[in-house]
Amino acid sequence: MSILFDDIVFGPVKSRRLGVSLGINLLPVDSKLCNFDCIYCECGWNGSVSRPRFGRRIEIRRALEIRLKEMNESNGSPDAITFSGNGEPTMHPEFAEIMSDVVELRDAYAPKAKVCVLSNATFVHREKVFEALRKADRAILKLDGGRDETVERMNCPQGDYSVALAVEKLKAFEGNMILQTMFLRGEYRGQKIDNTSDEEVEAWLKAVKEINPKEITIYSIDRDTPAPDLQKVSKEDLEKIADKARALGYKVQVAG
Ligand code: SF4
């Protein structure tokens, strides 16, 4: 079963990676909206909404302020404020302005909290999106493989997307970003998918070296996926992949 966030601000949820994290969903609350349609997306497949209703900037600001005040009053403060939710946050037309609001509210109510963004990085060519992502303490950006065929099968991107293009966009961060990669095995529409083979991992490592991220997070599926025939990669296998990147000097976290 997929999970849709039915509110603008949700949580806090506790994660090993981000600690106590308050989530912000800029996207419609009744369907997923993304320019990818990853076969493993926890929000399910893209909805068929003709005119998506993005959260309004003023409402997002208000909802976050109320929640941060409440947390302050109960002597709790989040470790992270994370843009995630029902799709790709940088698709919001006012993503940059909302980022400024979030940073301002963080400074006022939860100065120790890290502002994090989970993004597929496809809108980084827009100057405002790029600059906004650079304001985040942790820009956690997706690249699921080093071969076009693999990312095509895993991410089902709309429009132009290739590993070369993605690498160029990620290189623009000059290392100040966290690379996030999903590893899985299985089958979708009669085609085998396995981005854990030696050949696949080699291609991924080549992309990693070009991007040169300050940190890498790798993970596998944890819940039901929209494509039914996918298998979770074991922690042990993920650690083996992580070790290959660690051997190149990268800090790698296996999330699970
Ligand atoms: S990029 Fe993220 S939100 Fe978009 S389909 Fe993939 S997993 Fe879902």
Question: For the segment 182-225, what is each residue's pLDDT rounded down to a tens digit?
Answer: 999 999 999 999 999 999 999 999 999 999 999 999 999 998 99
Chain centroid offset of residue 236 CA: 23
Q: Which atom of ligand 1 is nearest to the CA of 46?
A: 5
Distance (Å) from CA 69 to ligand 1 centroid: 30
Please give the pLDDT value at position 40.
97
Classify residue 2: in a domain, yes or no: no
Please give the residue range of the domain that contains residue 96: 9-254
Instruction: Report pLDDT digits (tens) over 134-176.
Output: 999 999 999 999 999 999 999 999 999 999 999 999 999 999 9
Please give the pLDDT value at position 213.
98
Classify residue 185: in a domain, yes or no: yes
- Tokens (6 digits) for 160: 């132009």
Classify residue 1: in a domain, yes or no: no
CB-CB contact of 203 with 147 (8 Å): yes
Chain centroid offset of residue 159 CA: 19
Instruction: Report pLDDT digits (tens) over 75-130.
Output: 789 999 999 989 999 999 999 999 999 999 999 999 999 999 999 999 999 999 99
Classify residue 3: in a domain, yes or no: no
- Strand residue runs (E) in the chain: 9-15, 19-25, 80-84, 114-119, 138-142, 178-182, 184-188, 191-194, 215-219, 230-232, 252-254
- Tokens (6 digits) for 49: 């909404």
Distance (Å) from CA 37 to ligand 1 centroid: 6
Classify residue 67: in a domain, yes or no: yes
Helix (H) / strand (E) element for 207: namely helix 198-211
Identify which of 2, 31, 34, 144 to mutate to test ligand 1's pocket (most ligand atoms within 8 A of the CB): 34
Q: How far apart are CA 180 and CA 167, in angstroms?
A: 13
What sections of the chain are H helices per DSSP? 57-73, 95-109, 127-135, 148-155, 163-171, 198-211, 235-246
Please give the pLDDT value at position 2.
62
Q: How far apart are CA 177 and CA 224, in angstroms?
A: 28
Distance (Å) from CA 115 to ligand 1 centroid: 19
User: Residue 221 sits in a domain of what CATH number?
Assistant: 3.20.20.70
Which protein residue's CA is at the shortest distance from atom 8 of ligand 1?
41
Classify residue 4: in a domain, yes or no: no
Distance (Å) from CA 134 to ligand 1 centroid: 20
Q: What is the number of structural domains in the chain?
A: 1
Identify which of 120, 152, 153, 180 to mutate to test ligand 1's pocket (most ligand atoms within 8 A of the CB): 120
Classify residue 105: in a domain, yes or no: yes
pLDDT at residue 4 greater than cutoff 90:
no
Query: Which protein residues are within 6 Å of ligand 1, measured from CB?
Result: 34, 36-38, 41, 43, 87-88, 120, 142
Phi and psi at residue 152, in whole multiples of 5°?
-60, -45
Q: How far apart are CA 106 and CA 126, in angstroms?
A: 25
